[in-house]
Amino acid sequence: MNVAARLEELRALIHYHNHRYHVLDDPEIADAEYDALFDELLALEADHPELVTLDSPSQRVGGAPLSGFRTVRHERPMLSLDKCTATGELEDWLKRCRTRLGDGETIRLICEPKIDGVAVALTYENGLLTLGATRGDGNTGEDITANVRTIGAVPLKLTADDVPPRMEVRGEIYMPLDAFERFNERALASGQKPLINPRNGAAGSLRQLDPRLTAQRPLTMFCYGLGWAEGGWTPASHSEVMAKLAGWGLRVNADAAAFDDIDSVETYLDGLLARRDKLGYDIDGVVVKVDSLAQQDALGAVTRKPRWAIAYKYPAEEATTRLLDVEFQVGRTGAVTPVARLEPVFVGGVTVSNATLHNMDEIARLDVHIGDTVMVRRAGDVIPQIIKVVEGKRPRNAKAVALPVVCPVCGSDIVREEDGAVARCSGGVVRCEAQRKEGIKHFASRLAMDIEGLGDKLVEQLADAGLITDPADLYGLDLETLAALPRMAKKSSENVLAALEKSKHTTLARFIYALGIREVGEATAAGLASHFGELEPLMAADQTALEAVEDVGPVVARSIVRYFEDPAHRQMIRRLIEAGVTWEPVQVVSPDEQPLAGQTWVLTGTLESMTRDEARARLTALGAKVAGSVSKKTTQVVAGPGAGSKLDRAEALGVPVMDEAALIALLEANGVGVD
């Protein structure tokens, strides 16, 4: 390999992608791919220091300031961090620290979530915010004070008596995930361009020349350290610094923790990774720091990185790959959903070969063509999705994606209602095998009849063998039939039959939801059960009677009427009841008499005794509206482990907060407790 040529190529690539990301707000590659280019550059320059040039990206820490902002020079450089991706590398880093400090030194470590946002420096003089600056190139950044002042999490004044006369606080500005999703929903509804991802959205928001536009973006901040301070304050540790910052009203991350040994650090890394998709904000790893500031000074820095800190990187949640094809799947309501078939790519800790495209409107918005290079995002257990097309890499023979004319399963016409985003197979459950299978899977699902052991593969086997054609057929299965199926032993067959028998004793709300009526989710099903009390009056209800139910509008009401008008559906319901499916009568209570009528609740964090969906259904049954965000109108917030920005906002607004135990007590007191 010609090292000089490769270095020149890497520098050009990194400069190009820096410009795309930091200046044009239009990245072409995922962060992990950029990091790989940068790591290769650093490795080659380390092996060939004589080839390092002054204009190399390794000699700075980010993109150049925009011409529209005043440039400011940092009084102390904002350094970058060395990275590792394996615990062995982390242990090697700690050994290097011990070697430099001496084997007799005790090293206490601090672990903090590495927020995937924008690093900033805030200068406070006599307690007043006087400057907000971006990292820039590490030595020189952009003056974004006017934009920073619009962020509610950034105090404009620190009122404590012991605040230093001058100091610089450093932190990360980011977008909470729920706020990012709401922003994009509003943008799409108004015909505006949505943000690519939360990190890109935060960066673009801080570069708005009009602070009024920044104020419309849902930004917040975590402080992660002190840049410098004047006035004689000499803290002994990073822990002391963070406690002081929190005491002065600056926002710090509650998930930060201190440890005395590397084993505890590794346990923390695994635990945070397991909770990554429940934090409410994007992280790309954990920053591990030496706690003692005296030890930090002794360890010092090399080139652009401190020796006393390292970033442990988690698997990337975004990557670019090639779109090989688009196939169309048919769901239980006949909805025809496009699915992207991808050239396999490692993202979010797994290899991804499929991604959702939602509907034809989304395909049009993204301008997806077969053969395109696309950016894929996967967060936690969320289904991977295509978030961007890299148009500059589109091949000449790229094909536009067209909606099929007929159903790929049954050949029936595909119809799309006027102004509707969803295209549907017109065959219905009578003609379309895909709709029949998906309907049975839904009937058996946890939030519906909760038939444990009757998974998707078993439903597929039973349907393919002609043993079931609708949910009522499930209750006619016997041990001999199940045990004769491939991979079904006697014991597993007995377990399925026991689960079927147990599922016969259900609730009216679950039964209504299990029927799979289009537009009727579990919350609507609970409302219908509370309003009508029994199935017969619901089946007999007309459009007007249904619209009298809380949150049931004309579209939902029409869908319910059509469902119960179908003789096949009525016959299936009769067969289910004849098979022994039953429920306790529901006491009909007017909406005004429900214990939580008129209240708005919000759920955040992880619940241990029930899922959020189950908690939402139970609260709805008591008359509450369950919202996705906290506002001044919120009545109550239920917070479990991992609660993030919603809990912070509730505390800031003074909204009452309860834990899961209090919620269970409330539900049981009102007759809808956890089983």
Beta-carbon contacts of residue 605 (< 8 Å; ≥ 6 apart):
278, 639, 640, 641, 642, 643, 644, 647
CB of 437 closer than 8 Å to CB of 409: no
Q: Are 470 and 439 in contact (CB under 8 A)?
A: yes
Cβ neighbors of 86 (< 8 A, separation 6 or more) are none
Q: Examine the residue annotation and report whether 244 is marked as an active-site residue of this protein.
A: no
- The SS3 assignment for 650 reads helix
Choosing from 83, 114, 289, 388, the catalytic residue is: 114
Please tell me the distance from the alpha carbon of residue 227 to that of residue 169, in angstroms, as a whole number: 6
Task: Give the start-end residues of each E strand in 407-450.
Answer: 414-416, 423-425
CA distance 528 to 548: 10
Query: How far apart, in whole angstroms, are the C-alpha atoms of residue 176 and residue 179?
Result: 5
Task: State the burial class of residue 161 (Cβ atoms within 10 Å of its Cβ: 0-12, 13-18, 19+).
Answer: exposed
For residues 520 and 535, what is the distance between their CA atoms, to the nearest angstrom?
Answer: 15
CB under 8 Å to 317, separation ≥6 — which residues? 282, 284, 347, 348, 377, 378, 379
Which of 655, 621, 411, 599 has its CA nearest to residue 529? 621
Calculate Rg over the CA atoms of the chain: 29
- Cα angle for residues 109, 111, 112 (degrees, 5° grid): 150
Burial class of residue 337 in the structure, from the number of CB atoms within 10 Å of its CB (0-12 exposed, 13-18 middle, 19+ buried): middle
- Tokens 């007191």 correspond to 669
- The CA–CA distances, whole Å, from 306 to 153, 261, 299, 309 equal 28, 21, 8, 6
What is the four-CA torsion angle of 431, 435, 440, 444, rounded to 10 degrees?
-170
Three-state DSSP class for 231? coil
Four-point Cα dihedral 156, 161, 162, 164, nearest 10: 50
Q: Which residues are catalytic?
A: 114
